[in-house]
Each structure stands twice: as C-alpha cells, then as structure tokens.
Structure 1
C-alpha cells in the first residue's frame, strides 16, 4: 500500500472532550487510506488514547513545561509536513503550536463563541440546530472527505486493566456505578440528594454500588458509604480502570462530566443529571442509551458553557428541583424495572 497522508489531531484536555474526539479519530484513520495519525494531548489524559488502534503516534505534552514544552514538541516534529492538521481544541496553546508546525492544510473546530455567549448571558437562542461536539469535530474533516460512519465513541485498554480491576472488586456481584462528582459545582447534583437516593437503590435493586471519581473526591464520597454494599473507589482507579468498571456495570448514574462520556464510549446505559448546562452546548451523551434528568423550566439555564463554582443567583434550582425520586424513576425506565 502506498503511503497515505500525515495527519495531526490536537486536543489537549479534558477527559470528556478527548473521549468525544474518538469517533472523528476513527473516521480519519479508516477513511484516509494509509494515513499516519499523530495525536497530541496532555500527559494526564494520554491513557485515554494510548491503546487506541487508530493512533499511530501519541505525543504527550506536559502542561507544566509551558511554552518551552510546546517549542520542544514543534522541534520534535520539524521533519514532518502534515497533509492535514485538525485542531480540535482551538485555543491559544493550540494556535501557538500549529504556528510552528509545517502543514499543507489546517482546520480548526468552530466553537460558535458569539452564539454561545448570547445564549449563556442573554438567553437569546440563535442556534438553528444542536449538533453534538463529535458532529462539530466531524465538520473539520469535510475538506478531507471525512464522513460520518454512524458509529459512536470508543475506548480501548489492555487485558491487564480488567484483571487489576477484578482484584479490587473481589467478587462478581452485579454493579451500579455512581459518579457524584463533576468539574464544577453547578454541574454536581447535591450530595444530600445522593444520600437519599442510595438507600432507595439498595432497597429496590440487588446491585452493589461503586462510587467513582478523582482523588479530590475520596473524602467527600465517604459520606455516601451507607452500607457494606457500597464501595468508594474514588481516587483509586486510573482512567481506564474506571472505564472498565463502567463497562461492567448494569448502568451509571452521573452528572454532566467526563465519566458520562466514558459511559457512552463503552456503551453502558446511563442516567445523566444536567444542571447549569443544556443540550445546545453540544455535550449531551453521544449515541448512547441514556435517560436525561434536567429542569427544563429553569429560565436561567444555561448560566455557563462549562459550569460555575457557585450558583450566580444563589438558588441552584436547576439541580435542587431534581429530586432523588426523579433520578430513581429514570433508572427504573433505563433498566426496565
């Protein structure tokens, strides 16, 4: 086979955003015969792509290295002229890096910043449609002939990932995965509501409940260990072990977070709770089996495109109106209970 095009994909962060690139990554690799795909991302998220068969060369960037690190990346790639660069981040860092790379064509994701700002700050909705983020990534590939293959997101890991996970769980009890965390306060369903939901789940379902999240959430989630059928794994699982646990679970209950997109990638049904963010922003689960729980009557949604550290109006009704009963009924619909 003759050598295909040299392609570079750039998405530095974060968990969900990188997982959302995996459909486009597959489409690029399979639709450009012989393509050699380089993917540039931050070191802390590299495992999400490390075992992906559509990445030929994974380049990790240490954000602590700043401009020096970006210059080193560019120097390492100085002998490559990319046929296509797909900048799926489109921020100052990606612009700086691509300014130093050699390429024939470059396409960047269009973020509709003005339309988004008008919706968030004035509630004027000028979106004519609500394409998902993976569909917006796909648009960057139109000039290269990349088309939607109709498939979803993907994650890959080596066999030892599941073996290590199995040793942590000790038994084969059926699981429900719970992810009470998120990157911002206004995207987190109140912890008190989780405390009310968990006893109901234990009473009406035979599953064990596995709490997953980051190291900064371990202590907070200890408050949710209300029974010996609840295990707090927050901070204990690397990214791919978390994905393997979600895949093994009957369902996931989560907020709008990176874990939500991981569930879509491993095709686990989920209940996704949305507070300050809405469908228009593009981050609803992509081609997933999902029950969305949200307060569609709250006029101030969305108050941010990523989330806030506090409710700007001090009522947090976008989340507080969503009772544990709402979430439990959504799970029952999902499981056919």
Structure 2
C-alpha cells in the first residue's frame, strides 16, 4: 500500500501531523508513506524516519502533480484542505480522505462569539481522516527528530547551562506576542536564568528585554539556527512560549510548558499542548476574545487586554 499525506504549512500544523504519520507507519504493515509540503517547511519532517519519501511543492503545480502521478498512490490523506490540495487530489484521481476545517463554525466563534466548535485537539481531528484504514491514536506526543552535533557549552555562556528557562518570544503576528514590558516584568519574577529564543523578526524586542533585565537574560534571538533553538528548548528546565511553531515543537520533548495566549484561543484551533505532563495555559477571558484565528498586526480595539491582563504571578509560580 502506498499513501501520500499532504500538509503544506505551517510549523505548528505540520508538527501536529506527526502522530498521524507515526500511527500509519507503525500500524499498517508494508505501507510506503510519502509526504508533500512546501520547501521552506521541509526541515520539520525531512529527518522523520516514518516518511519514506518527501515531496516539495513546485511552481507551477502541474510539475508536482506530474511527479506524484508516477508514484501510483492507493490513498491520499489531505490534512490541509485547500484549493491547491484539492487540485492535487482531483488530478491524481485516487481515493482520498480530507481533514474537515469547520470554517463556518470558526467564523461564527470569532465574529459572533457563537462557539459550536468542539474542543477536540487538532491531532485527533487529523486522525479521523485515517480511521477508515483502521489506524488508531497511540496517545503519544508529537514527534520532532533533531539531528546535528550541538553543545550547550558552545551555545550558552557559563551560568546558563543548567536549569535555564527557554522563553520563546517570537510569533508571526503581533497579537500573539506579549508586549516587551510584560516580558520584562515576567523575567524579573523568575528565579532562573532565561534564554530568549526567536528569529530576526523579534531581535530588536529581545535587545530591549535583555538590556532591561540584565545578567539573568541570554539573548539568542536571530543569532542561532532553528535546530540550535530546538536543542536549547529540548535541554531547558521549563519553557515559556506563545502560539508559535517552536513552542509546539517543545511538546515533542515533554517539557513543562507555559503556553501564553493573546488574541487567539487554543480550544478553537485545537492546538493546546498535546500529551504534555505539565502545562499552564495563560489567557484572559474577554468578550472580544478571540478576535482572530491566526493573530493580527494590532489589537482592533486598541487596549490589548488579552495580553496586558495576564496574571504574571501565576506564571512565575508555575515556573
């Protein structure tokens, strides 16, 4: 049996497909499993031992379809459910099963605060697409297969190499990130060294935070590679992060996690930490929240209470 799994983006969503990949490969004898994603997200799955062949999306789409047609798949598992994945399924013309996004229900929850979305994790929603094959949830965490030769003594200065807190301050959209002054206040409450992680997009934020807090902070934002950041997360004492890919990757290592939520809510998207033993979800119940599925460039009402009103003392107590 040969199966193609489709998920084009993004980091967190692809991470949450890894239990599906693992369960298919472990539970279906002699299955050959292929995966289709965008090239800029290939690093998430290119070391995954459960994937036999990785395809990267090409432009134009017909080139990708031509490559896939040669494989003669028995089934396609579409975990993205977009126009592009629908075209792939149509052109290949084989049996398929598709993840249901519940777009209308999510729109009602955001626009009118009528929440009809059941609080089912995205992993479990994905797994429904392979139930017809007899594949069942193994109830294990997500996977991230880190490869590379890393050394904490080279990545971190003395004093940060044991029991540090990895604080992931990056996130794609502004309303997913805690304001600098709140991050500074939280870091001052912690009795551990703090390593700031994120990309170049938050490098300026990290400089402000590090300068304000002082020697307790080591700023690694925008200065190390992604897998080096993953390695620091893997070896952290505990992790603090927003709704972003690196925070979801931390779940693969069963790290105690503080998951901080602003304009988005985990229940709506089903992306709360999955099979992690110790979790504290920080968020504020507000009539305007959620205001988005993916985050916004600014608070539409101007007050940004979903971040400013978070109780930092509860986070510090958890840490």
TM-score, reference length from structure 1: 0.88
1:91 aligns with 2:87: no
Alignment correspondent of 1:334: none
Q: Which residue among 131, 135, 145 is the counterpart of 2:120?
A: 131
1:20-169 equivalences under 5 Å are: 20-61=16-57, 65=59, 68=60, 70-103=61-94, 105-127=95-117, 129-160=118-149, 162-163=150-151, 166-169=153-156
Q: Which residue among 275, 294, 308 is the counterpart of 1:287?
A: 275
1:312 aligns with 2:300: yes
8 Å CA contact 1:254, 1:271 repeated in 2: yes
8 Å CA contact 2:280, 2:315 repeated in 1: no
Kindly tell me: are residues 23 and 185 of structure 1, through their superposed partners in 2, closer, same or farther at Cα, counting changes over 3 Å?
A: same
How far off its partner does 1:326 sit?
A: 3.4
Q: Secondary structure at the match of 2:194?
A: strand
CA–CA separation in structure 2 for the residues paired with 1:294 and 1:310: 17
- CA deviations 1:314-336 (Å, max 9, x no partner) are 221111111432321232xxxxx
CA–CA separation in structure 1 for the residues paired with 2:198 and 2:167: 9
- CA deviations 1:72-104 (Å, max 9, x no partner) are 11112222221111111111222223332242x
How far off its partner does 1:245 sit?
A: 1.1
| Bigger mean CA deviation after superposition, 90-99 or 282-291 | 90-99
Q: Secondary structure at the match of 1:50?
A: coil
CA–CA separation in structure 2 for the residues paired with 1:220 and 1:270: 22
1:168-317 equivalences under 5 Å are: 168-171=155-158, 172-201=161-190, 205=191, 207-225=192-210, 226-278=213-265, 279-288=267-276, 289-296=278-285, 298-317=286-305
8 Å CA contact 2:3, 2:73 repeated in 1: yes
| Bigger mean CA deviation after superposition, 215-224 or 15-24 | 215-224
Q: Gaps (5+ residues) in structure 1? A: 332-337
8 Å CA contact 2:6, 2:37 repeated in 1: yes
CA–CA separation in structure 2 for the residues paired with 1:77 and 1:16: 25
8 Å CA contact 1:185, 1:307 repeated in 2: yes
Output the aligned Cα RMSD.
1.6
- CA deviations 1:141-193 (Å, max 9, x no partner) are 01111111111101112242x34x55222553332100122121111111110
CA–CA separation in structure 2 for the residues paired with 1:29 and 1:237: 33
TM-score, reference length from structure 2: 0.93
Alignment correspondent of 2:9: 13
- CA deviations 1:101-137 (Å, max 9, x no partner) are 242x11111011111111110111223x310100100
CA–CA separation in structure 1 for the residues paired with 2:269 and 2:45: 24
Q: Secondary structure at the match of 1:152?
A: coil
How far off its partner does 1:71 sit?
A: 1.7
CA–CA separation in structure 2 for the residues paired with 1:137 and 1:91: 15
Q: Gaps (5+ residues) in structure 2? A: none
8 Å CA contact 1:9, 1:88 repeated in 2: yes
CA–CA separation in structure 1 for the residues paired with 2:206 and 2:214: 13
CA–CA separation in structure 2 for the residues paired with 1:45 and 1:317: 33
